[in-house]
Amino acid sequence: MSRIAFSTEPPSPVGRTVVVGAGPAGLLATLRASTEAHEILLVDHGKDFYGRRRPDARQYADATTAVSGFGGAALLSCGRMRLTHRVGTTLSPRFPPHDIEDRQREIDTVLLQDESEKNIELYGTDMVAAAALAARATECDLDYTHYPVRELDGEQLFSVMGSMRERIAGVGRILCGTRCMDVRPSPRSGSRWEVWLSGEGGEYPRLVHADNVVLAPGAAATAWLHDQGQRLGLPSRPATPEIGLHLEGPRDLLEPLLTAGPDPLLTWQSPDGATARCLNPWTGDGIVPAPGHQGAHRHVTRRTDRSSNRAQITLLVRCTGPQALTASQARVLAFHGGVIAQTLGDFFQDRPTTGTTGAAAVGYLPSLPKATTGSLSTLLPRPYREAMKALIIRLAKLSPSLLHEENLLYGLAVQGIEHRFDITDSMQAPEHPGLYLVGDGPGLTDGIMAAAETGWIAGDAIAAQHRPMVDLGRLVPQARNANQLSHDPIPAA
Ligand SMILES: Cc1cc2nc3c(=O)[nH]c(=O)nc-3n(C[C@H](O)[C@H](O)[C@H](O)COP(=O)(O)OP(=O)(O)OC[C@H]3O[C@@H](n4cnc5c(N)ncnc54)[C@H](O)[C@@H]3O)c2cc1C
């Protein structure tokens, strides 16, 4: 039997951190972890930054390029960055809101560090309008969450990520086109982890020794991370998926919702535990089938077409308890028949839409005129369907034109199908010192800023390991001289 040849990188004398994944989580982890006293290696199996650039930054050349490579899924995302302490059920319950907000502000500053990027406007700063919308939402039995938002177009995203690329290159080694195959506890003294890497074109695997490993592989690598987790014995909980529909109609569809900011989060909580929310409204954009993620976490998404006369908003429902779908059931639903379109009138009557999507839409040009018409309402399990209807009815109290019969629903979209890994407050896997889990892949976040924040926290924890210890012997006599400390004897260590 032939043996696999591999090259081994010896343990670094100063300590080494390997970050897997160059999306927002991995990038911020790398920046924050960097200290002069240790070495950082950032690996991503996708293309490097410049290899992902194309004339229209928002057009996907292929599915892999869209979510993979330097910048991660964020590089070709819609570019909407939400600065909020409501960053999902992993971070929000752990830290006081002002801690999260402070970190988000710092991340915002780090991302927009270059002079040219500072001009990217922050929307949603009118707190009077926010309070008015919140009051109207409460009357409609909805909960309104207000937060400031930055909207970056394709060029701005490239500029932000390009400057990140330069800064990261200054603090660590970037290895794109390199896949992390495996992470194992190291049998060697002096290093905690072995990281197995494989280069582009089937290069021999390379073994790297590391004190710390940050796993930031994003939502598209859920299956790989799940396998890793099982082999390493990392505790995780099954996902609770969210099922989504995109509601599309004429351009003025959403205006009353947009009085306080471009991205209102409106939530309805059903008495039996379903949570229905709407977010991500767009005016003038389009919906396209999402690039084929392994695991289909988003089935339909957007492309830029600002000249069009339509608007859309995403509606999402999550159920809990026995009525909740499992991740695999949700995945099967999302793949069922590709993107289906149904008019709102038919959705509420639970009858299929027939004819063409193009003919069904009235007063606007639908983004997918050739989408198959059918019945999303009967595809959705009952609790999801009922919660979706309840949400639309409440939203229509704020914005009556939402309820026009000719508006279209597209679906199904699915998100939140990642296993949610247990982590400590520093994003470390419990009982696995030096192994950090960050971003969307381990089911901790869903969005650029939240993913970046988990990376930031992990990076800080790693940097803290490498900071020089405070020399008490040097500090204490000085302080005593300055009469700043009591004269109690210092206890022996
Ligand atoms: C079409 C689309 C639009 C979006 N729009 C928005 C938006 O407007 N606002 C917003 O906040 N969020 C948006 N998102 C979500 C946002 O992009 C993600 O939440 C965010 O990028 C997650 O960051 P991450 O670092 O966890 O993972 P990712 O950004 O997914 O990065 C993970 C990286 O890890 C690499 N990787 C995976 N496995 C391995 C491996 N084994 N070895 C080496 N490398 C590996 C991948 O190549 C990838 O580059 C959008 C997502 C999509 C798909």
| CA of residue 74 to ligand 1 center, whole Å | 5
Are 296 and 66 spatial neighbours (Cβ–Cβ below 8 Å)? no
For every residue of 95-155, which 3-state class applies, written as one string?
Answer: CCHHHHHHHHHHHHHHHCCCHHHHHCCEECCCHHHHHHHHHHHHHCCCEEECCCEEECCHH
DSSP H or E segment with residue 196: strand 193-199
Instruction: Give yes or no for residue 458 CB within 6 A of ligand 1.
Output: no
* Six-digit token string for 210: 């590391």
* CA dist list (Å): 143 to 100, 275, 276, 278, 441: 20, 11, 10, 11, 28
Instruction: Give yes or no for residue 71 CB within 6 A of ligand 1.
Output: no
CA 482 and chain centroid, separation: 50
Q: Check residue 66 and give its pLDDT.
A: 75
Instruction: Give yes or no for residue 262 CB within 6 A of ligand 1.
Output: no
Instruction: Give yes or no for residue 65 CB within 6 A of ligand 1.
Output: no
| CA of residue 67 to ligand 1 center, whole Å | 6
* Six-digit token string for 387: 């919660």
Most ligand 1 atoms within 8 A of CB, residue of 32, 42, 43, 45 to mutate = 45
| CA of residue 78 to ligand 1 center, whole Å | 12
Residue burial 208-220, b: 16+ Cβ < 10 Å; e: rest? bbbbbbbbbbbbb
Which pTM value belongs to this model? 0.89
Closest to 372 (Cα-Cα) out of 342, 351, 414:
342
* CA dist list (Å): 292 to 7, 44, 115, 295, 338: 34, 19, 36, 8, 11
User: What's the sign of the alpha-carbon dihedral 222, 223, 228, 234?
Assistant: positive
| CA of residue 216 to ligand 1 center, whole Å | 9
Q: How far apart are CA 228 and CA 218, in angstroms?
A: 14
Q: How far apart are CA 70 and CA 89, in angstroms?
A: 27
Cis omega (within 30 of 0) for bond into 412: yes
Q: Check residue 337 and give its pLDDT.
A: 62
Cα-based angle 71, 426, 70 (whole degrees, multiple of 5): 10
How would you write the pLDDT of the chain (493 residues) with one tens digit per residue?
A: 444 455 677 777 678 999 999 999 999 999 999 987 789 999 999 999 988 876 554 555 555 677 899 999 998 888 889 998 888 888 899 999 999 999 999 999 999 988 777 788 899 999 999 999 999 999 999 999 999 999 898 888 889 999 999 999 999 999 999 999 999 999 988 889 999 999 866 566 789 999 999 999 998 898 899 999 999 999 999 888 999 999 999 988 999 999 999 999 999 999 999 999 998 888 776 666 665 443 333 445 555 566 678 999 999 999 998 889 998 898 888 776 678 999 999 999 999 999 999 999 988 999 888 889 999 999 999 999 999 999 999 999 999 999 999 999 998 888 888 889 999 999 999 999 999 999 999 999 989 999 999 999 999 999 998 766 554 444 433 333 333 323 323 233 2
Instruction: Give yes or no for residue 439 CB within 6 A of ligand 1.
Output: yes
Q: Check residue 140 and give its pLDDT.
A: 96
| CA of residue 304 to ligand 1 center, whole Å | 19
Q: Check residue 54 and give its pLDDT.
A: 62
Question: Residue 439 CA: which ligand 1 atom is closest?
Answer: 26
Q: Check residue 255 and give its pLDDT.
A: 92
Domain with CATH 3.50.50.60 in the chain: 7-122+149-238+420-466
- The topology under which CATH files domain 7-122+149-238+420-466 is FAD/NAD(P)-binding domain (3.50.50)
Which is it for strands 143-145 and 173-176: parallel, antiparallel or unpaired? unpaired
Q: Residue with the nearest Cα to atom 30 of ligand 1?
A: 218
CA 471 and chain centroid, separation: 41
Are 278 and 144 spatial neighbours (Cβ–Cβ below 8 Å)? no
Q: Check residue 479 and give its pLDDT.
A: 35
